[in-house]
Every structure is written in structure tokens, then in C-alpha cells.
Amino acid sequence: MISSLKLYRPPVLFLIGTLIIFLQAYRVPFVPMGAGLDASFPHILNLGASTGTKFGTDIVYTYGPLGFLLAIEDVGINLTTGFVFWTIVYAAFAAATSYFVISRTEGWRAILGLAVGAAVSGFIDVDRLPSCFVTLLLFLGYEETRFRYPIIACCGFLAALGLLMKVTIGIGCLGAILASTLVPFTSVREIFQRAIVAAISSVATFCIAWIVLSGSLSGMASYFYNSLQLSAGYTASMSVSRANESLSLSLFLSAMALLAVFAGLLPRWRNLHALAIVIPSVAISWKHGVVRYDTVHVFALVFILVFSTFCVLILHLSKRSSSPNKANNKWVTLAFYRPAIGILGATAITFLTATALVSADIQFTPKVAAGLEPLAHLRHYSQYRLHLRRVSDSQLAKSRLDPDTLSRIGKKTVDVYSYELGFIAANPQLNWHLKPIFQHFNAFTEHLDRLNADFLRSPNAPAFLIMHHPNDSIAGVDGRHQLFDDPIAFLEVMRHYRTVFVENDPSKPQIGLLERSSDAERRFSEPTTFRSELARWNNAIPLPPASPSTILRIKVDLTKSLSAKLQEALFRLEPIHLVYILSDGTEQKYRLMPPHLTSGVWIAPFFEDYSSLYKFLGGVEWAGPKVVGIRFESKSPTDYSEPFYVSWEKIDCEEATPCQPTYSRFASTFANGQKGVPSLIRPTIVTEFPVPVHTIGAIEVRLSTYGQVNKGLLTLAVVDGNGSNLGQSQLDATLVRDNGYAMFVFDPIIQLNGGKVVLRLSYEPVGQGMIAAWRTSESATDLDLRAYGQ
């Protein structure tokens, strides 16, 4: 019956295969505007593309002028451009895949190949499509020798588009193209001609497109140099070991070996060509996949291997042989051609899929005919745009600034000193003027750090900075302290900006508004080295004596061993941490980026929350813990030379500038990282608090509001052993932040004579108020609190 319908005819199979693969693979990455680390940065790419901002200079990122195509927002004509672009690219990819299968196979093998192609194509998202498309065309060009040069030129065109979208995508494509030109080893002249065709097509396409998009060739060199530094930094900063790492690496290496064997069992010497195409893409994905241990990037790495396995499988299904010596391949064909090759190919794809699932805990099932969804959006285009806007408005609700903040900024320029860039989309009426490294935690190297420092020092620096962390935590991305992210640029913030306003809406994380001040530059001296010493890993280093009006920083001279350099090139090194040893006996641990150790790491004063940092930058007295020592930690100290030199630096402050906390923390009842549970205040919680001889200027208590804004009054009373009231402090319940520390300030300061005191925490609600204090357990009588005094 199938034969009577003539479905075996190549033209019919080609059209059917193209349609099925297109409907299975086609997607357009529309995203609503959002807040958060990963949801907010696409808006900068979309704004940059629609306003003609120069990438490489004004915007420094791994994404280029076409980067918005990987996460398209409804900005300008971006939505329409994205629809047209990805429709054309996916249609061409579907046609090329179908042709590759039909041209190499016949009969039932063609139907089987198209079925596998349709299944595999369901995993190809927009980030993976350029690499997979180039891989497919290179396989096809090797088979269709008469069209190889035009195909190489087409691959160069795709690689250039990849470079304009994201540098790592383009480099993977270029590596595959240039490596494939070496096979077959016919003559140096022919190999050179192939490489020239690839170079001319990719360079010409990139330069022409760059000029059209940017208006000139300026910024190209900076784009590549800065993007590569950012890419290397991502690997170093985000690579965190997981429990199943050994298993995932074993599966990956087994899958690679299986693919190599699978390619080598062809009745022709195709293994060199197959692996030459795959290895460059695998190399770049390896460093950004398994090494980073990021779900999306692990899947990218694995899928490149899966798609390569599919391409090799099609060649195995082919009955057409171009081998010059068929007799020598007879045994290979008979032994492996049908059952063994099929089993091996299926096993390879299974291994690779298992690697993705185990490595990244991926729970992803491709949809059947997923391409129907963007086609439905295209059919109802105006309604879909309205839907995106409604979702964007909902997601940006908490990123809208208060009227007081907006009125203070007015029409002056403003930047966001945070990875939370949702403020830009949520407040488009403001005059935004962003740093080159717009998410400052990406300033992984001294060079990138200085780009932001130069920007903040220049006359064109923004008049205001919005400082913010979504969780109100001083610990930022990847467990690094806020002041570790860009140590050089932060000194410019400290010199040129003052806190002028802090939002206190408890339903949103605290936002600090910093204004550029002409006289702020005179408040701090340049860093000066005043002491050097030798240090060892995992050993405490006491702080050197210094004036109370002095800021302390430290520089570290680390030298990597040869084995560490080799390990870092192939995989990654263990992260290193700085541990602050505090006077109350607790410790705080933060991750370090090795390049920043040569720039200088902030030591004292130590800020454990944004409230104290805002006060410091505003020249207002604040309370905070006192640092008495530090310790550098590494799980693999042999990666670096030991002992190593550390140099202490000091920055002198003006006499009126509070460079040290007014009150030092002398007691903290919860150990660092200790968990607890919230316990409702009904209406009073009583706990004993043993203290040495001290004064108490303030006590912070960790409270929970269950995500709501409460009304009423909180009271914290300090009572001695005889029941006498030593002092009390009251706090408006509307100012309490969920799961944050609420500070009760005592005026006058409480004088203590040792022994035990009793704390009474009570809450008088107005309406249905619910506030809980954190304890170690439901039955415990303690509180998670931090006391400050002299």
C-alpha cells in the first residue's frame, strides 16, 4: 500500500520530511520582560538592538548586536524581526536535514532516518541551532563534493550570524568549519582553498552585518576580547561541584568514546571527518557545560553529540559507498552494517541522553509538533503581543520604583548597581545610562573591572545609582560578597556617590538611591600598602593594627602550579573562599574570584547587610560586626604555591566619616548557616540571653511576616535577673521585612554588668497581623538575634 502511494519517491519523502521536521523543531524565543538574574538581562540586549547602542564598547557582554534573537522581547521591531528570522532559519534547517537523509538513504531506511531526524530535532532550541545546522551542512558537504565550496561558504555565513548573536556560538561553528577543511587530506592547496572560502565568507558576513547594525567597524576587537574574558570568568565563577559529578563525567566520556567508535565503523574512513566537525563544538560546550554545571549548558554539550550521532547514523544507513577499496571493507560491512550498527547507534544516543539527565537533573520532554505553537502566535499576532505585555506588567510589578524615588531622579541619568535589571523595563520613563559591564558581578577580571571604574569616574557617569539586592543579602551571585564583585569600580562608587534615599516598603526588597556628589571624592585616600607577610591556606591571619578611621584591604599573590594550569585548561579548579573571623566568635564565608585577589579584597569594615552599607555610603553611623582575622580556604591548596604573600592596604577616611561601626556586634545566638523555624509571637516570646560586661546599643531579631504587610507595634524589652526593666525599644510592624533582621535601637544605651538578662519580644497587632520570630525549633526558647554594643 505504501508502495502504491509512491511514498518512497524522493521528492515526496523530501517534502513530507521537511514539513514534519519543521513542525517538530520550529520555535521562536519570545519572552516577556521580567525581573531577576536571568530574566532581566535580555531587556538590555533588546534595548541595545532597537536603539543602535554599540556592542563591545557601550555594552560589553558575550551577546552581540543580534543577541536579542535568543530572547526576543516586544521592543521596537524586535518581535517581527525574530519571527521572520527564525522562520527562515528553521525552514532551511528542516529542508537541509530532509535532503541529507533522502540523498543518503533509500526505502525504509529513508523513512527511519526521517523519523529519527524528527525526534532529534525536537531538542534543538535557538542556542543550539547554529551549531547543529553547521554540523549538518559540513556532513552534507563531505558527501556532496561538487557542492562543498558553496556549502562551506554557507557555513561561514551561519558562523558569522552566530558570532553576532553570541561569541561562544560563533566560535564553536568556526572551529567545526576550519577543522572539517582538513578532511580528506588531498593536497595542501585544496585544504588552503577550503579554509580561505570559510574565512572570507565568515569575515565578510560579520563585517558587513556589524557595519549595518552598528554604523561603523569600531568596537569589533573589544567585542571579541571582552566577550572571551567574560566567557572564561563564567566558567570560573559558576563551576560548583555536584554530588553526581563523577557519574556524569563517566557517562560523558563513555558517550564520546562510543561516538568515536561509531564513526570509525563506517565502511569508509569517515571517522576523521565526523570527529573533526564535532570536537571543536564539543570543546567550547564542554567548558561551558559540564565545567559550569549549568543545566542549559550541560544539555547544550550533550545535544551537540546527540545530533552528531544522528548524522553518523544516517551515513551508516546509507547503501552508497564511495570507498576506493570495497573488498577491504567487506568484513566491516557484513559484520556491523545492520544489527550491530543499529544497536550501537541507539546505545550512543541513549548514553548521551542519560548524560544530560544525570548531569543537570533535566526534566525535559520535547513536544510533538512544537512548531504549531509559534505558528498559532503568528496567526493571532496582535493578541499575542497584548498577552506578552500583560505578563510583563505582572512580572515587573515589584520592580517599579516609589514616586519619591522617581521624583528625586527626575530627568537625570541613572544606573543600576545590581544584577536586578528589571528596574529598567519597569521604569522606562527614567533616563538610563548603564555601565559597560551592566551586571557588575560579571567584571571577572581586572580589565573588565577597570572598564566600569573608568565609566564611574568619567564626567559622563550617571547622576544616580540604584543599589539593590533581590534578597536583601550582602552575599551576591555564586556566594560572593557584594564588595568582591568589582573591587576597583566600588572604590569609585565610594568616592563619588552618597546614599540620599532608602525605600522602606516591606513588600519589596530594600532599594538604596545613591547620588553623585562633587565633594565625595575628598573623603577617601588612595589605597596604600603598609604591611606584607607570608600566609598559608586554611590558617588564620590576624588583622594588623590600624586606625579606627581606616579601611583595610588585602592583595594576594597566588601562583598556580603546572598541574593546576593543565587542569584549569581541561576542566576547572576548586573554588577558593575568604572567611571573616568576627569578634563574637562567628564566621562568615564568601567565594573569591582569583583575578580579584591582585586588585584588592575588602576586609574591614565588614558589611553583613545592605542597611549598614547604605548608611556607610551616606556618611551615617551604623552597627556591624568587628573583624579580628581572616582565613583563605581551598579544598585543593596544592593548586597554588604555598606559602604565598599577602599585602595589607589602608584607605584613610576623613575624621567625620564613620569608616567603622559605631556599635560592634558582640553576640550572635545562631551559628553561621544554622537553620531555624519561625514561631508566632502570641503575644510575647521570652528568652534568656547570657552576656559579658557590655553595653547594648541595638539588637537585631530575625522575623517572618509570611509575605504580608502587618500593622501594629513590636516591643523588645531587656530585663535583668531581678525583673527590673533595663530598657526597651519599639518598632512599627509595617517596617518589618519577611525573613529579615529587624533592628531595635535602645536610647539611652543599656548598661550591663554581666550575668544573664531576659528579652521579652511582644507584638500588638492592628487587625489580622501575623509576625513570627525565628528559633532553632518549635519547642526552643531561644531567638535568632544579634546584639551590638561597645
Do 630 and 756 lie in one domain? The reply is: no
Confidence (pLDDT) at 621: 86
Q: What is the pLDDT of residues 498-544, one digit of tens each?
A: 998 888 777 777 788 999 987 556 578 889 999 999 999 999 999 99
Cα separations in angstroms, 380 against 82, 391, 421:
16, 17, 30
- Residue 290: pLDDT above 90? no
Output the pLDDT for position 689. Answer: 82
Task: Pick the closest to residue 443 from 588, 647, 240, 232 (CA basis).
Answer: 232
Checking if the pLDDT of 755 tops 60, the result is yes
- Answer with the residue of higher pLDDT: 292 or 658: 658
Question: Strand, helix or coil at 710?
Answer: coil
* Average pLDDT of the chain, as a whole number: 83
> Which cell numbers in the block locate residue 559?
601562583
Which of 191-205, 457-471, 517-531, 745-759 is predicted with the least confidence, judged by mean pLDDT? 517-531
For 548-559, letters b (16+ CB in 10 Å) and e give ebbbbbbbbebe
Which strands make up the sheet holding 464-468, listed edge to edge?
A: 431-432, 413-417, 464-468, 511-516, 497-503
Is residue 113 included in any domain, yes or no?
no
**Rounded to 5, what percent of the chain is helix, strand, coil?**
45, 20, 30
Of 634, 661, 688, the one marking the end of a domain is 661
How high is the pLDDT of residue 22? Answer: 94
- The number of residues in the chain equals 790
Contacts of residue 693, defined as CB under 8 A and 6 or more positions apart, other chains included, come to 752, 753, 754
Give pLDDT, residue 543. Answer: 92
User: Which cell numbers in the block locate residue 777?
Assistant: 525549633
pLDDT tens-digit readout, 434-483: 999 999 888 988 999 999 999 999 989 999 999 987 766 788 777 888 88
Q: Tell me, yes or no, whether 442 lies in a domain.
A: yes
3-class DSSP state of 520: helix
Do 272 and 358 lie in one domain? The reply is yes
What is the crossing angle of helices 487-496 and 446-457, to 10°? 10
Q: Provide the residue type at 733 as one letter.
A: A
Whether 608 and 653 share a structural domain: yes
Residue 423 is assigned to a structural domain of this protein = yes
Ramachandran angles phi, psi of 87, nearest 5°: -65, -45
Co-location of 714 and 622 in the same domain: no
My answer on whether 619 and 483 are in the same domain is yes
Q: Kindly state whether residues 538 and 486 are assigned to the same domain.
A: yes
Q: Which residue has the higher pLDDT, 270 or 307?
A: 307
Q: Is the pLDDT of residue 332 over 60?
A: no
Task: Answer whether residue 743 is part of any domain.
Answer: yes
Shared domain check, 531 and 678 = no
| Structure confidence at residue 663 as a pLDDT band (50, 70, 90) | confident
The CATH code of the domain that includes 772 is 2.60.40.4070
Place of cell 533588546: 46
Residue with cell 559597560: 436
Per-residue pLDDT reduced to its tens digit, 29-79: 999 999 988 889 999 999 999 888 899 889 999 999 999 999 999 999 999
639 shares its domain with 770: no
Whether residue 476 sits in one domain with residue 351: no
User: Could you tell me if residue 347 is inside a domain?
Assistant: yes
Does residue 615 share a domain with residue 550? yes
pLDDT in tens, 368-405: 777 888 888 888 889 999 999 999 999 999 889 988 88
**Helix (H) or strand (E) run with residue 291 in it:** none
H helical segments located in 460-521: 487-496
Provide φ and ψ at 332, rounded to 5°: -65, -45
The reply to whether 354 and 490 lie within a common domain is no
**747 contacts: CB under 8 Å, gap ≥ 6:** 729
Q: What value does the CA radius of gyration of the chain take, rounded to a whole number of Å?
A: 31
What pLDDT does 245 receive?
62
Q: What does the buried/exposed string (b/e) look like for 124-138 if buried means 16 or more CB atoms within 10 Å of the residue's CB?
A: bbbbbbbbbbbbbbb
| 548 band by pLDDT with thresholds 50, 70 and 90 | confident
The answer to whether residue 146 scores a pLDDT higher than 70 is: yes
Of 131, 109, 97, 101, nearest to 24 by C-alpha is 97
- Same domain flag for 535 and 605: yes
> How buried is residue 212: exposed, middle or buried, by Cβ count under 10 Å (0-12/13-18/19+)?
exposed
The DSSP call for residue 626 is: P
Strands 772-775 vs 695-704: parallel, antiparallel or unpaired: antiparallel
Q: Give me the residue label for grid cell 541595638.
A: 698
Q: Tell me what the mean pLDDT of segment 304-311 comes to.
A: 80
Domains in the chain: how many in total? 3
User: In terms of Cα–Cα distance, which of 306, 293, 281, 307 is closest to 358?
Assistant: 293
Q: Is residue 488 part of a domain?
A: yes
**26 contacts 370 by C-beta, under 8 angstroms:** yes
Instruction: State the pLDDT at residue 42.
Output: 92
The whole-angstrom separation of Cα 683 and Cα 770 is 10
> What percent of the chain shows pLDDT beyond 90?
34
Distance in angstroms (rounded) separating the CA atoms of residues 709 and 466: 24
Q: How far apart are CA 72 and CA 59, in angstroms?
A: 17
**Which stretches within 558-695 are classed as H helix?**
562-570, 594-597, 610-617
Final residue belonging to a domain, choices 661, 678, 708: 661
pLDDT band at 553 (very low <50, low <70, confident <90, very high): very high
Antiparallel, parallel or unpaired: β 413-417 and 464-468 = parallel
Q: Please state the rounded mean pLDDT for residues 261-286.
A: 63
**C-beta of residue 577 within 8 angstroms of C-beta of residue 589:** yes
Q: What phi, psi does 414 have (nearest 5°)?
A: -150, 150
CA 214 to chain centre: 26
What's the Cα-to-Cα distance from 350 to each of 218, 244, 293, 299, 403, rounded to whole Å? Answer: 47, 18, 20, 14, 56
User: Does residue 87 form part of some domain?
Assistant: no
29-51 per-residue burial string, b: 16 or more CB within 10 A, e: under 16:
bbbbbbbeeebbbbbbbbbbbee
Answer yes or no: is 249 within a domain.
Answer: yes
One-letter amino acid of 67: G
Which band of pLDDT confidence, cut at 50, 70 and 90, is reported for residue 260? low
User: What is the spatial distance between Cα 293 and Cα 235, in angstroms, rounded to a whole number?
Assistant: 9
Alpha carbons 433 and 412: distance in angstroms, whole number: 9
Pairing, β 740-751 against β 677-680: unpaired
pLDDT per residue as tens digits for the range 218-232: 888 999 999 888 887
State the pTM of this model: 0.86
Question: Mind listing the pLDDT tens digit for each residue in 704-734?
Answer: 988 888 899 999 999 987 888 899 999 998 8
Q: Are 436 and 60 in contact, with CB atoms under 8 Å apart?
A: yes
Structural domain for 358, as ranges: 240-366
DSSP per-residue letters across 366-432: PPTTTTHHHHHHHHTHHHHHHHHHHHHHHHTGGGPPPHHHHHHHTTSEEEEESS--HHHHH-TTSEE
- CA nearest neighbour of 499 among 661, 617, 651, 373: 617
More confident residue, 198 or 359: 198
What was the pLDDT predicted at 345? 62
- Residue 337: pLDDT over 60: no
Report the amino acid identity of residue 209: A
The closest alpha carbon to 389, from 624, 140, 79, 653, belongs to 79
C-alpha closest to that of 617 among 517, 519, 514: 514
pLDDT beyond 50 at 206:
yes
Last residue of a domain, one of 643, 661, 679: 661
What pLDDT does residue 330 have? 42
Give the whole-angstrom CA distance, residue 91 versus residue 634. Answer: 50
Give the model confidence (pLDDT) of 573-616 as tens digits: 888 899 999 988 888 899 888 888 998 999 989 988 888 889 89
